[in-house]
Amino acid sequence: MHPALNPGGLAVITGAASGIGLAAASRLAAAGLRVVLADLPGDRLTAAAAAVPGGIAMPVDVADPAALRALEAEVTRAHGPVSVLMNNAGIQPGSSTFDPEGTWDRILAVNLMGVVRGSQIFAPGMIAAGRPALIVNTGSKQGITTPPGDPAYNVAKAGVKAFTEALQHTLRNTPGCQVEARLFIPGFVFTPLTAGGRVEKPAGAWTPDQVVDYLMAALDRTDFYILCPDNDVDRHTDERRILWAAGDIVENRPPLSRWHPDHAAAFQDWLKG
């Protein structure tokens, strides 16, 4: 078990009122940690905290830096140093390149800057506590292979990847620091974020509990990139997709060549290799 996951430690999870965040809160509480569930205020957050043994509901809008600073101050004042921070809050209302929907600002504020500011605000106190601690930032495969269809979400999650890499580099080069960061990269998970009006889980999706099982197993290892499969996509397929996306630069192919009519067939052939 990761040394930050000791019974009695304190975890803070954003986006904890449902989906992966709620599943992670339940798992950490079962491991003996005290868990703060942070999400937008309302009945959903209240019900989620009530469903987690000892769960502590704290409303926050992660897009508001002042609210995040107030959350950190209240958490540490009332409950002490944070052992685990999971920056998990995210939205996916849909987007397009020229933003007629007007969603870009909010998507970037929540999905990217909520992670950046959450890390920046909580990490100094975690470092100063002088004990093992962990920051888990929820990214996405869409931030790595950037498929067409939702560019604002892709940009935000690509930023989470780049920021979390920089964060881990900084932490490991900070003298005396016992805090580390991990990048959590779920696959297709059936949550309120991805349901799209469906009430039954698609066969290809994992449940939030399954993906949290995978996360917890990875935290027992030294994995920085916690790349999760699902029922449709295995590790080999993910690796080939990621390598092909990097190859667009190296081979000077058109961007997003997986979906380009001159390269799509070559990608499918290569994927089988």
Distance CA 139, CA 227 (A): 10
Q: How far apart are the first and last CA of the chain?
A: 36
Q: Which of 153, 214, 225, 272 is catalytic?
A: 153
Q: Which residues are CB-neighbours of 208 under 8 A, at least 6 positions away?
A: 19, 20, 22, 23, 189, 190, 191
Q: Which of 141, 157, 214, 272 is catalytic?
A: 157
153 part of the active site: yes
225 part of the active site: no
Structure tokens given for 18: 């449902």
Q: Which residues are CB-neighbours of 14 under 8 A, at least 6 positions away?
A: 21, 38, 39, 60, 62, 86, 87, 88, 89, 114, 118
Structure tokens given for 19: 């989906």
Residues marked active site are found at: 153, 157
